[in-house]
Amino acid sequence: MLTWKKNNNTMHTPLVARCLRGLEAVVAAEVHGSGLGAVTDLRHREVHFRSHRPTPPLRTADDVFLLAAQRPDIGTTRQRLHELTELAHLADAHHLLSLRHSATASARGITGIDVSASYLGRRTFTRYDAEDVVGQALARRLGVPYHSRRAGTAPPPGCCGWRLTLDGTRATLMLRVDDRPLHRRAYKQRTIPGTLHPPLAAAMAVLADIRPDHAVLDPCCGAGTLLIEAALAQPDARFHGFDLSADAVTAARANAGELPVAIRRSDAGRLPLPDDSVDRVLCNPPWGTQVHARGLLATAPSRWWTELRRVLTPEGTAVLLLPDREDLTTAIRHHFTPVHMQRLRLSGTQPFLVHLALTAAGRSRASRQLLEGEGPVRSGPGPGAGRGGGEHRRLQRQHPRTSSNRH
Ligand SMILES: C[S@@+](CC[C@H](N)C(=O)[O-])C[C@H]1O[C@@H](n2cnc3c(N)ncnc32)[C@H](O)[C@@H]1O
């Protein structure tokens, strides 16, 4: 079923990028915008495309697979499970494995088959039933053992990972290209509770449209995922992260390494930044069930919004991950307006990915201060704090090796 298309002597491989529900369009835009290939289909958590690179460096996708085979979905009952063996027969398995072998240095010969399945809707079979049918058929074809996930044990080293999805219309079989899923980032050596999924952080950075001269803020930066993903995409901007937790500050600094990201310990309810000094805010604030607001925000969460409004330039925008609709109402009450909104599915929750701009009323406050040359007297000591208006309010570029903030 693997088909090839010759185009200017270049082989274009059919690939599938898997992503969070709600990010399909962002991933498709990354595939298209970065010239990695041509999008051929958008499905539930899947972007199908053809690329000349079998391992495209997508940052907003969870993983990339070689498309192996497709057929109609088998429906909801276990009686038709055996029909899934057709996928193993349709797949040009040896050819797919040689493609994987040439794309990934680590994929030297395989010792077994491992299948991970997921489906939409209720079925009278489990994911393990579907995995076993396809895995055993693939193992017979390739003459290697099948490792079932039923017992919850990790597949032995050398197993090649296959992915099966049933979306109600189609059954799709894919082969993982790399041993390591794309969403695992080498920089993320330290973590904290509630840390963000890196592809989602990358997608938020894309939506923020960060320019080289921008000052970018995460007032509750945790392990620094948002700022790090943003700095990797736009290293010429200036990045400032704050967190009240000393552990989070340590983790973010370690993860950021040599990237131009300055991390300091501070309460997001009283940021040590001048008024109108930030062009972009990226944040998933501590409003969830996993992480609670502490410090000033524990008793006065609205301070988060007043500080955001204070530090943003009149044209500044914020890309936020907000757990529920009530947070949007709060944002609107604080003179923000949503310019883009997308509901996501994330670890059993359905948060909103929101792009906010200041309303005319929100902007006029900032503009008035600039015109009157009011100093940022409310802010504490910080980069550029207390220096008056105009260009002096701009946050200075912070480099980890020279910034005293990191000590
Ligand atoms: C959901 S986590 C952020 C995760 C982060 N985006 C990451 O990828 O690791 C929220 C963070 O808010 C921090 N926090 C809670 N109250 C705070 C406050 N008053 N000021 C600053 N940070 C605060 C917590 O310590 C936590 O690190």
Let me know if residue 183 belongs to a domain.
no
Let me know if residue 110 belongs to a domain.
yes
User: What's the pLDDT at 101?
Assistant: 81
**Domain span at residue 354?**
198-406
Share of the chain above pLDDT 90, in %: 70
What is the whole-number distance in angstroms between the Cα of residue 298 and the centre of ligand 1?
Answer: 12
What is the whole-number distance in angstroms between the Cα of residue 270 and the centre of ligand 1?
Answer: 14
Backbone φ, ψ for residue 400 (5° rounding): -55, -30
Torsion-angle region of 297 (φ positive above 0: left; ψ -120 to 50: alpha; else: beta): alpha
Q: How far apart are CA 90 and CA 69, in angstroms?
A: 6
Do 277 and 371 reside in the same domain of the chain?
yes
Indicate if the alpha-carbon torsion angle 120, 123, 129, 133 is positive or negative: negative
Task: Say if residue 238's pLDDT is above 60.
Answer: yes
Pick the last residue of a domain from 176, 207, 237.
176
User: Each residue of 160-207: pLDDT tens digit?
Assistant: 899 999 999 999 999 998 878 889 999 999 999 999 999 999 999 999
What average pLDDT is seen over the chain?
A: 86
Name the DSSP letter for residue 156. Answer: P
Do 301 and 152 reside in the same domain of the chain?
no
CATH code where residue 104 lies: 3.30.2130.30
Task: Say if residue 217's pLDDT is above 60.
Answer: yes
Q: How many residues does the chain have?
A: 407
Let me know if residue 191 belongs to a domain.
no
Let me know if residue 184 belongs to a domain.
no
Q: How far apart are CA 136 and CA 162, in angstroms?
A: 12
Do 146 and 231 reside in the same domain of the chain?
no
CATH code where residue 307 lies: 3.40.50.150
Token pair 């010969």 is found at: 109
User: Each residue of 327-376: pLDDT tens digit?
Assistant: 999 999 999 999 999 999 988 889 999 999 998 888 875 544 554 443 33
Number of CB atoms found within 10 A of residue 55's CB: 15
Do 172 and 271 reside in the same domain of the chain?
no
Do 244 and 356 reside in the same domain of the chain?
yes
Let me know if residue 397 belongs to a domain.
yes
Let me know if residue 190 belongs to a domain.
no
Pick the last residue of a domain from 176, 210, 234.
176
| Neighbouring-strand partners of residue 297 | none
What is the whole-number distance in angstroms between the Cα of residue 66 and the centre of ligand 1?
Answer: 37
Atom of ligand 1 at shortest range from CA of 218? 6
Do 149 and 101 reside in the same domain of the chain?
yes
User: What's the pLDDT at 107?
Assistant: 53
Pick the last residue of a domain from 141, 176, 211.
176
Backbone φ, ψ for residue 299 (5° rounding): -100, -25
Q: How far apart are CA 102 and CA 63, in angstroms?
A: 18
Do 138 and 285 reside in the same domain of the chain?
no
Residue 212 has which token pair?
A: 């080289």
Task: Say if residue 407's pLDDT is above 70.
Answer: no
Number of CB atoms found within 10 A of residue 157's CB: 9
Atom of ligand 1 at shortest range from CA of 268? 20
Three-state SS for 225-252 is HHHHHHHHHCCCCEEEEEECCHHHHHHH
What is the whole-number distance in angstroms between the Cα of residue 286 and the centre of ligand 1?
Answer: 5
Task: Say if residue 270's pLDDT is above 90.
Answer: yes
What is the whole-number distance in angstroms between the Cα of residue 248 and the centre of ligand 1?
Answer: 8
Q: How far apart are CA 106 and CA 116, in angstroms?
A: 20
pLDDT band per the 50, 70, 90 thresholds, residue 385: very low
Do 240 and 366 reside in the same domain of the chain?
yes
What is the whole-number distance in angstroms between the Cα of residue 221 and the centre of ligand 1?
Answer: 6
Residue 117 has which token pair?
A: 């399945």
Pocket of ligand 1 (CB under 6 A): 192, 194-196, 220-223, 225-226, 242-245, 248, 267-269, 284, 286, 291, 293-297
What is the whole-number distance in angstroms between the Cα of residue 340 and the centre of ligand 1?
Answer: 23
Question: Which residue among 188, 195, 243 has the greatest number of ligand 1 atoms within 8 angstroms of its CB, and so is best to mutate?
Answer: 243
- Nearest 10 degrees: Cα torsion 99, 102, 108, 111: 0
Q: Higher confidence at residue 5 or residue 89?
A: 89
Query: Structure pTM?
Result: 0.86
Let me know if residue 225 belongs to a domain.
yes
Give SS3 for 400: coil
How many separate domains does the chain show?
2
Do 164 and 132 reside in the same domain of the chain?
yes
Question: Which residue among 263, 264, 291 has the greatest number of ligand 1 atoms within 8 angstroms of its CB, and so is best to mutate?
Answer: 291
Q: Whose CA is nearest to atom 10 of ligand 1?
A: 286
Three-state SS for 58-87 is CCCCCEEEEEEEEEECCCCCHHHHHHHHHH
Do 315 and 396 reside in the same domain of the chain?
yes
Let me know if residue 269 belongs to a domain.
yes
From the centroid of its chain, how far is CA 250?
A: 22
- Evaluate whether 378 touches 370 at the Cβ level (below 8 Å): no
Do 17 and 91 reside in the same domain of the chain?
yes
Which H or E run includes 327?
helix 325-333
Do 45 and 162 reside in the same domain of the chain?
yes
Q: Which amino acid is at 183?
A: H
User: What's the pLDDT at 36?
Assistant: 82
Task: Say if residue 127's pLDDT is above 90.
Answer: yes
Task: Give, in order, the Cα–Cα distances in Å from 232 to each of 120, 210, 218, 220, 258.
Answer: 34, 11, 15, 19, 11
Q: Which amino acid is at 94?
A: H
Atom of ligand 1 at shortest range from CA of 191? 9
DSSP 191-228: --TTPPPHHHHHHHHHHHT--TT-EEEETT-TTSHHHH
User: What's the pLDDT at 403?
Assistant: 37
- Evaluate whether 100 touches 109 at the Cβ level (below 8 Å): no
What is the whole-number distance in angstroms between the Cα of residue 171 and the centre of ligand 1?
Answer: 40
Q: Whose CA is nearest to atom 27 of ligand 1?
A: 222
Task: Say if residue 285's pLDDT is above 60.
Answer: yes
